[in-house]
Amino acid sequence: MVINSDDYKISIVIPVYNVEKYLSRCIESILAQTYKNFEIILVDDGSTDNSGELCNQYEREHKVIRVIHKENGGLSDARNYGMNYARGSYITFVDSDDYIHPLFLELLVKGIQQGADFSVCDFTEVYDGNGIRKIEPNIVDISTINAKDGLIEILYQKFHDVAAWGILLPLSLAQKYPFPKGRIFEDLYTTYQYYLDAKIVAFVRAPLYCYFQRADSIMSIRNDIFITDLIDASNTVVENCQGYGANVELAAKGKRFSNYCRLLIQSSNLKSHYPKQYHHIVEIVKKERITVLFDQHARFKNRLAAFALLGGVSFFRLISKLAY
């Protein structure tokens, strides 16, 4: 079923920076959508390769594509820039090295049509090859739930993630919570606020977004900015979820616990190079390990990490490498 409604004009914002190798795959996946009422906004964020010219070429060939060239300001700045030029009533973000299923827009719109404030789909991680799976649209599970319950599911990593992609939301809601410029974990700072603001969310339980894993991506680099940013973003979520109910608060702390365990495992020089951050992390995970251990909603690997932390950080690292 192909849906074409003037009520659901969608702006698709794609930040572009030095991705000439992947950009065509991304754009072509959008042009192949079964849902046709959309525009594509390519934000060339000061690319130094051929990405900018490739954007111009697509703009010349397709009326639905607009290109914006700007000085480099980072992913958040490019997304915000694209929002300012959006003409649709709804917006979604696609990273330029990722790509989407042909049913991506159609099924997310169906979620909105069921009375949701915004809709979210599942994703698949892609390392090589084609991540597109055959999906029968008439049997896809699209469930509408209370947005706070949806946030709990997201924070416990039961569905989707805190990522900005894979979400279709009103332009007005996206503009209400712009992405913080200069942050690596801009999604974590931002997307949970959509759920706190909304009443109903639709979960489209099908892997419609293909998240491509690159060795040279921003998220693969472990440095001081990565570490301090993840700590600050995790604490911000915990602080801002206060007052939204005990279950939301517990889920936010569970997400922070998971992020901190990730840092303990993946940052081998954390204690020697970042002693202040290390001691803060250890203090929090030791404080919350019992709560996580007995939290029936927590993921198994987080409860395993909590159990391992009863034996100290060294024992935790030994055991948790099997789970993280």
SS3 track for the chain: CCCCCHHHCEEEEEEECCCCCCHHHHHHHHHCCCCCCEEEEEEEECCCCCHHHHHHHHHHHCCCEEEEEECCCCHHHHHHHHHHHCCCCEEEECCCCCEECCCHHHHHHHHHHCCCCEEEEEEEEECCCCCCCCCCHHHCCEEEEEHHHHHHHHHCCCCCCCCCECEEEEHHHHHHCCCCCCCCCHHHHHCHHHHHHCCEEEEEEEEEEEEECCCCCHHHCCCHHHHHHHHHHHHHHHHHCCCCCHHHHHHHHHHHHHHHHHHHHHCCCHHHHCHHHHHHHHHHHHHHHHHHHCCCCCCHHHHHHHHHHCCCHHHHHHHHCCCC
Token pair belonging to 194: 């959509």
Residue 146 belongs to what H/E stretch? strand 142-146
- The pLDDT, as a whole number, for residue 247 is 98
> Could you tell me which residues come within 8 angstroms of residue 215 by beta carbon, excluding any fewer than 6 positions away?
none
Residue 241: the pLDDT is 98
Domain 6-218 sits in CATH at 3.90.550.10
Q: What is the mean pLDDT of the chain?
A: 92
Residue 278: per-residue pLDDT: 95
| Model pLDDT for residues 294-312, shown as the tens digit of each residue | 999 999 999 999 999 999 9
Give the model's pLDDT for residue 139: 81
Q: What per-residue confidence (pLDDT) applies to 6?
A: 61
- Domain ranges within the chain, ordered by starting residue: 6-218, 222-320
| 131, pLDDT greater than 80 | no
For residue 128, what pLDDT band results from cuts at 50, 70 and 90? confident
CB atoms within 10 A of CB 255: 25
Q: What is the mean pLDDT of residues 218-225?
A: 63
User: What band does 224 get if pLDDT is binned at 50, 70 and 90?
Assistant: confident
Asked if residue 130 has pLDDT above 80, the reply is no
Q: Could you give phi then psi for residue 59, rounded to 5 degrees?
A: -65, -40
> In the predicted model, is pLDDT for residue 222 greater than 80?
no
- Predicted confidence (pLDDT) per residue in 103-120, tens digit: 999 999 999 999 999 999
| Residue % of the chain over a pLDDT of 70 | 94
Residue 223 has pLDDT above 80, yes or no: no
Most confident of 19-28, 135-144, 266-275: 19-28
pLDDT average, residue stretch 170-179: 98
When pLDDT is averaged across residues 111-130 and rounded to a whole number, the result is 91
pLDDT tops 70 at residue 5: no
Q: Residue 213 — pLDDT band, cuts 50, 70, 90? A: confident
Q: What is the pLDDT of residue 2?
A: 44
- Examine the pLDDT at 1 and tell me if it is beyond 50: no
